[in-house]
Amino acid sequence: MNGLLGIATLGREEIQAILDRARDFQAPPGQGFRTFSSLAGRTLVNLFFEASTRTRTSFELAARRLGASAISITAQASSVSKGESLVDTLNTLAAMRPDAIIMRHSASGAPHFLQQHLEIPIINAGDGTHEHPTQALLDARTILDRGAKLEGLRVAIIGDIAHSRVARSNVHLLSKFGAQIVLCGPAPLLPSELVDLAPGVTLTTSMDEAIRDAGVIMMLRVQLERQHEAAFPADEYFQFYGLRLEHLKAARPEVIVMHPGPINRGREISSEVADSQKSAILNQVENGISVRMAVLERVLGGGMNANAAH
Amino acid sequence: MPTLLIKNGRIIDPASEHDAIADVLIRDGIIVEVRPNLTAAGAEVFDATGLIVAPGFIDMHVHLREPGFEHAETIESGARAAAAGGFTSICPMPNTSPVNDNATVTRYIVDEARRRAVVNVFPIGAITKGSGGEDLAAIGSMRAAGAVAISDDGRPVMNARVMRRAMEYARSFGIPVINHCEDLHLSAGGDMHEGSTSVRLGLRGIPGCSEDVMVARDILLAEVTGARYHVAHISARHSVEMVAFAKARGLNVTAEATPHHLLLADADMQPYDSNYKMKPPLRGTDDVNAVLEGVVSGAIDAIATDHAPHPGSEKMQEFERCPFGIIGLETALGIALEQLVHPGRISLPKMIALFTVNPARILGIQRGTLAAGAAGDVTIFSATRSWTYDVSRSLSKSHNSPFSGKTFQGGPCATVVAGEIVWRMDQ
């Protein structure tokens, strides 16, 4: 595995191996996280061209718990704002020889473009409206932890699908494992070509239809910052596409509600749902660290047999 | 001026419906005679045995970037690339800096071309001042200075009333109005064709309808005004169908297609490779088929490259930040043979017409034929020779092409402008 650019090009076995390894890194019930040393002495650069607290922190903690050191650079602090090109910025960083670069960028394909010109592995922490592979991995880990099987599972993903990298990565992953994926949102945010993304995808503009018999409901953040135009009237969004308790009755009794965060209470999800027993939102955050540990170890070749060092 | 005798080639001149093995004699820049077994004392002789000898190819849509963007291309370098592609005449679009919207700029291009270009350069003037879409440019003066058409290529006139007036005014000078059809509101922010590939890659789409709605508008205006109207780089199925409809109504409407729109669909693009980024974008397979069908049916009249040089530094960026456009002069003939002639879609003479007599008629220029008395512009090419394009050896100053490394069956062998061999293939 040379870097991690997206789920679309990842094999099922590779995904399974990461998900399995992530389990080893989860904190045992009632205990704290353990630390490992499989990446001792390695250096990671977190290069974030787009604001993000949770993903960046999650990668930093993941690196630290494997014994690696991580430095974080944000776009505002870097020379990008001085007009340096992306290629030059990356070449400069590469000359300092980190072991991997974790990168978030607002342009779709930016890490793919750079990987063509760079030997150092790049881990995609979200590129534009394209992919967010570690989010899909941690979502899958969270679903499996709740005892669900991905095969045949009906997953409703609701919100601004058109602009969502979380949705794309999840569609690719879930489809590879045989899930039925229902994508739902107002039509301007739900291009018909989404059905060509992967097998098992259907579309609906009706929230009730999407939720019927769903085992998992993934709500997406309404990202007004990614809207280049007013493609829908934001004022009435919650009325038609906000998740409320009454919706859950149509879902399967064991349904779980997920959200990549940060949540907009009262915009796409009601507080009652976000704080309910059905919500797996905090499990997602927790799994973010263990899944990213598994990814880092795999990319940096820390070895699957490196065992816990206490 | 020297005398040139081209011997034993297969002469194909669609304008005079000539197709036979013969010789061509050019003296003082003018074609003197075309018939077998010609001799001429002291003439330079080019042996064209086994080759096709055609009227000089005309590319009615290129960007030479001069004045203003000489780091990307100059009139001189663009003309050399044109000659290497078999073109003897090229028409640069007015989106230079300053914009070619007045006779001074037109004259600069004409003079500079006369001094430095190895091929003929027929400039296209702007429709509106600065191509700003509002006030009509000095169309009559540019015409007088040598402009052969008007266009706000790349910055289409969005205001229908301005377009109507432009068509009316252009009619008084007998020159065609060429439009890059793109409703800028529908295409805003788009980086590639809107379809399954754009959705998968998370790139913003340029829908086919952004072209269609403007083609529809312009055809209605062409009928109202009686203008000669030409659709640049047509790429979408409905647009092709509407041009066919306009022709059936007897309107003076023509269209060109680029080689890349004949060959590639959006799904063929290498993800996030800016050498596949242009406007209009590579469309869906159904659109590519429609463009091919349009060439076969005659709805599409000409092949034009939309040669759009950009230096490497501008193409080495995030896809969404890269400028639109690819170079195309040197690969046009190879692609046309591959997509049109070799699969049997059209005959060789018909393909040659797309490069010669048809664009000459659209523009009203005295080119595109090998008849005695015509300008001594000749394109000599092989329809079978296998060769591989290496963009690093391109004569263009820019190397933004998706076709480097591609092997073609057939391509240019020698280019003759006014009786002089201005380019010949390395032996």
Structural domain boundaries enclosing B147: 56-363
Beta-carbon separation of A112 and B204 below 8 A: no
Q: Based on the fold, state whether residues A107 and A161 are members of the same structural domain.
A: no
Report the distance separating Cα A49 and Cα A106, nearest Å: 7
Q: Based on the fold, state whether residues A242 and A127 are members of the same structural domain.
A: no
Beta-carbon separation of A229 and B188 below 8 A: yes
3-class DSSP assignment, residue B247 = helix
Beta-carbon separation of B201 and A191 below 8 A: no
- When divided into structural domains, chain B yields a total of 2
pLDDT in tens, B140-170: 999 999 999 999 999 999 999 999 999 999 9
Q: Residue A262, preceding bond cis, omega within 30 degrees?
A: yes
Beta-carbon separation of B272 and A165 below 8 A: no
pLDDT of residue A89: 81
Q: Kindly state the DSSP code that residue B96 receives in the 8-state scheme.
A: S
Report the distance separating Cα A124 and Cα A120, nearest Å: 13
B107 pLDDT tier (thresholds 50, 70, 90) = very high
Ordered DSSP codes for A183-222: EES-GGGS-GGGGGSSTTEEEES-HHHHHTT-SEEEE---
Beta-carbon separation of A85 and B188 below 8 A: no
Q: Based on the fold, state whether residues B153 and B16 are members of the same structural domain.
A: no
Query: For chain A, how far is it from start to end, CA to CA, in angstroms?
Result: 27
At residue B303, φ and ψ (nearest 5 deg) are -105, 130
Residue B36: which CATH number? 2.30.40.10
User: How many Å lie between the alpha carbon of A249 and the closest alpha carbon of chain B?
Assistant: 32
Please count the helices (runs of H) and the strands (runs of E) in chain B: 14, 19
pLDDT in tens, A43-59: 999 999 888 889 999 99
Q: Based on the fold, state whether residues B246 and B380 are members of the same structural domain.
A: no
pLDDT of residue A304: 42
Residue A100: which CATH number? 3.40.50.1370
Q: Output the CA torsion B98→B101→B102→B108 (10° steps).
A: 50
Q: Based on the fold, state whether residues A105 and A214 are members of the same structural domain.
A: no
Low-confidence residues of chain A: pLDDT under 50? 303-310
Q: Answer yes or no: is B132 within a domain.
A: yes
User: How many Å lie between the alpha carbon of B25 and the closest alpha carbon of chain A?
Assistant: 53
Q: Based on the fold, state whether residues A77 and A199 are members of the same structural domain.
A: no
Nearest CA in chain A to B207: A191
Q: Based on the fold, state whether residues A18 and A124 are members of the same structural domain.
A: yes
Determine contact: A75 vs chain B, CB below 8 A.
no
Return the closest-CA partner of residue B47 out of B84, B4, B85: B4
Q: Based on the fold, state whether residues B206 and B84 are members of the same structural domain.
A: yes
Q: Which residues of B touch A168 (CB under 8 A)?
A: 200, 202
Q: Based on the fold, state whether residues A61 and A168 are members of the same structural domain.
A: no
pLDDT of residue A79: 58
Nearest CA in chain A to B271: A109
Report the distance separating Cα A152 and Cα A150, nearest Å: 6
Structure tokens that stand for B382 in this block: 């092989």
Q: Kindly state the DSSP code that residue B226 receives in the 8-state scheme.
A: T
Q: Based on the fold, state whether residues B48 and B148 are members of the same structural domain.
A: no
| Chain-centroid distance, C-alpha B408 | 19
Cα-only R_g, chain A: 19
Q: Which residues of B touch A112 (CB under 8 A)?
A: 271-272
Structure tokens that stand for A200 in this block: 């098992």
Give the position of tokens 């000669």.
B228
Tell me which amino acid residue B200 is. R
pLDDT of residue A307: 40
The CA–CA distances, whole Å, from A193 to A260, A278, B202, B397, B425 equal: 23, 31, 12, 39, 46
Tell me which amino acid residue A207 is. M
* A109 vs B188, B201, B205: nearest CB: B201
User: How many Å lie between the alpha carbon of A207 and the closest alpha carbon of chain B?
Assistant: 22
Return the closest-CA partner of residue B105 out of B128, B91, B123, B89: B123
Q: Answer yes or no: is B369 within a domain.
A: no
Residues of B that are catalytic: 306
User: How many Å lie between the alpha carbon of B176 and the closest alpha carbon of chain A?
Assistant: 36
Strand-pair partners of A122: A101
Q: How many residues does chain B have?
A: 427
Q: Answer yes or no: is B298 within a domain.
A: yes
The CA–CA distances, whole Å, from A176 to A100, A164, A180, A198, B68 equal: 27, 19, 10, 8, 52
Q: Answer yes or no: is A307 within a domain.
A: no
Tell me which amino acid residue B250 is. G
User: How many Å lie between the alpha carbon of A197 and the closest alpha carbon of chain B?
Assistant: 6
Q: Based on the fold, state whether residues A126 and A164 are members of the same structural domain.
A: no
Contact B305, B62 (CB under 8 A): yes
* A107 vs B194, B196, B321: nearest CB: B321
Interhelix angle A281-300/A133-145, nearest 10 degrees: 120
Q: Based on the fold, state whether residues B231 and B278 are members of the same structural domain.
A: yes
Beta-carbon separation of A108 and B199 below 8 A: no
* B320 vs A107, A168, A191: nearest CB: A107
Tell whether the torsion through CA atoms of A226, A220, A2 and A172 is positive or negative.
negative
Structure tokens that stand for A65 in this block: 């718990």
pLDDT of residue A83: 61
Residue B303: which CATH number? 3.20.20.140
* A113 vs B196, B203, B272: nearest CB: B272
Q: Answer yes or no: is B237 within a domain.
A: yes
* B317 vs A86, A130, A162: nearest CB: A86
Q: Based on the fold, state whether residues B210 and B275 are members of the same structural domain.
A: yes
Largest interatomic CA distance in chain B? 66
Q: Answer yes or no: is A127 within a domain.
A: yes
Strand-pair partners of A100: A44
Beta-carbon separation of B318 and A193 below 8 A: no
Beta-carbon separation of B317 and A165 below 8 A: no
Across A233-242, B7-16, B251-260, least confident range:
A233-242
Tell me which amino acid residue B334 is. G
pLDDT of residue A90: 80
Q: Answer yes or no: is A6 within a domain.
A: no
User: How many Å lie between the alpha carbon of B266 and the closest alpha carbon of chain A?
Assistant: 13
User: Mutating which of A113, A203, A220 best tests the B interface, going by the most B Cβ atoms within 10 A?
Assistant: A113
Q: Answer yes or no: is A29 within a domain.
A: yes
Determine contact: A172 vs chain B, CB below 8 A.
no
Residue B118 has pLDDT above 60, yes or no: yes
pLDDT in tens, B229-239: 999 999 999 99
Contact B120, B90 (CB under 8 A): yes
Q: Based on the fold, state whether residues B351 and B413 are members of the same structural domain.
A: no
Exposed, middle or buried, A194 (CB in 10 Å: 0-12/13-18/19+)? Answer: buried
Q: Based on the fold, state whether residues A72 and A152 are members of the same structural domain.
A: no
Beta-carbon separation of A228 and B201 below 8 A: no
- When divided into structural domains, chain A yields a total of 2
Average pLDDT over residues B175-196: 97
Q: Based on the fold, state whether residues B358 and B380 are members of the same structural domain.
A: no
Q: Based on the fold, state whether residues A73 and A185 are members of the same structural domain.
A: no
Q: Which residues of B touch A113 (CB under 8 A)?
A: 272, 317-319
Beta-carbon separation of B204 and A105 below 8 A: no
Q: Answer yes or no: is A1 within a domain.
A: no
pLDDT of residue A301: 85
Interhelix angle A281-300/A12-25, nearest 10 degrees: 110
Residues 118-147 of chain A whose Cβ lies under 8 A from any Cβ of chain B: 127-131
Average pLDDT over residues B344-360: 98
Return the closest-CA partner of residue B150 out of B77, B94, B190: B94
Structural domain boundaries enclosing A17: 12-131+287-300
* B203 vs A105, A108, A196: nearest CB: A108
Contact B335, B389 (CB under 8 A): no
Q: Based on the fold, state whether residues B46 and B66 are members of the same structural domain.
A: no
Give 3-state DSSP helix, strand, coil % of chain B, rounded to 5. 35, 25, 40
The CA–CA distances, whole Å, from A36 to A279, A283, A286, A306, A307 equal: 30, 21, 17, 8, 7
β-strand pairing of B253-257 with A122-127: unpaired
Q: Based on the fold, state whether residues A55 and A165 are members of the same structural domain.
A: no
User: Mutating which of A193, A203, A228 best tests the B interface, going by the most B Cβ atoms within 10 A?
Assistant: A193
DSSP H or E run through B219? helix B208-225
Q: Residue A138 half-sphere exposure, CB side, CA atoms within 13 Å?
A: 31
Q: Based on the fold, state whether residues B359 and B256 are members of the same structural domain.
A: yes
Higher pLDDT, B40 or A82: B40
Q: Answer yes or no: is A308 within a domain.
A: no
Q: Based on the fold, state whether residues B221 and B252 are members of the same structural domain.
A: yes
Q: Based on the fold, state whether residues B26 and B60 are members of the same structural domain.
A: no
User: How many Å lie between the alpha carbon of B295 and the closest alpha carbon of chain A?
Assistant: 29
Query: Per CB distance under 8 Å, which residues of B are interface residues toward A?
Result: 188-189, 194-196, 198-205, 271-272, 313, 316-321
Provide the strand spans (E) within B232-290: 253-257
Q: Answer yes or no: is B399 within a domain.
A: no
Cα-only R_g, chain B: 20
Q: How many residues does chain A have?
A: 310
User: How many Å lie between the alpha carbon of A61 and the closest alpha carbon of chain B?
Assistant: 29
Beta-carbon separation of B320 and A86 below 8 A: no
Q: Which residues of B touch A131 (CB under 8 A)?
A: 202
Q: Which residues of A touch B319 (CB under 8 A)?
A: 107-109, 113
Q: Answer yes or no: is A18 within a domain.
A: yes
Q: Which residues of A touch B201 (CB under 8 A)?
A: 108-109, 130
Q: Which residues of B touch A129 (CB under 8 A)?
A: 202-203
* Mean pLDDT of the residues in chain B: 97
Structure tokens that stand for A201 in this block: 């995808």
Contact B154, B100 (CB under 8 A): no
Contact B309, B327 (CB under 8 A): yes
Beta-carbon separation of A112 and B203 below 8 A: no
Q: Based on the fold, state whether residues A167 and A273 are members of the same structural domain.
A: yes
Q: Answer yes or no: is A266 within a domain.
A: yes
Tell me which amino acid residue B398 is. S
Q: Which residues of A touch B203 (CB under 8 A)?
A: 108-109, 129-130
3-class DSSP assignment, residue B177 = strand
Q: Based on the fold, state whether residues A40 and A126 are members of the same structural domain.
A: yes
